[in-house]
Amino acid sequence: MQRCNMALRDPNPPASLPRKLNVVPQETNMKAKILTFSSQGDSTILEYDPATADMHEVNRVIAEYEAKTGAQPFDVATGERIEKITRAQNEVLMVHPIAGG
């Protein structure tokens, strides 16, 4: 059984999101990131190794984050809205809605 390399990084994630998800020691090479952009600034909320990550779990965490914050995932490489994150997407930006906009 392979271990899933994932770690939540947002210093202020929604209260119900776990801080870590089946994390292995920090010296592993995390190759993919989920970033967040909001009026409070940018931060990395999740890093994972797409070769070993449970993509169902990655998508579950992102869906939960989206439901709690209203942030929507976009592929940084293409600028397109993402419905489901795949191993091919190495950088995803969670964009929070702007009030009045």
Q: Alpha-carbon Rg of the chain, whole angstroms?
A: 13
Q: Per residue in 30-51, is it b (16+ CB within 10 Å) or e — as a string?
A: bbbbbbbeeeeeeebbbbbbbe
pLDDT at 42: 80
Q: What is the pLDDT of residues 33-78, one digit of tens each?
A: 988 877 777 888 899 999 999 999 999 999 999 999 899 999 999 9
Task: Report the distance separating Cα 43 and Cα 53, nearest Å.
Answer: 20
Task: Please determine, for residue 8, whether its predicted confidence score (pLDDT) is greater than 70.
Answer: no
pLDDT at 16: 46
Task: Please determine, for residue 7, whether its predicted confidence score (pLDDT) is greater than 60.
Answer: no
pLDDT at 101: 54
pTM equals 0.67
Split at pLDDT 50, 70, 90, the class of 5 is low
Q: Per residue in 67-94, is it b (16+ CB within 10 Å) or e — as a string?
A: eebebebbbeeeeeebeebeeebeebbb
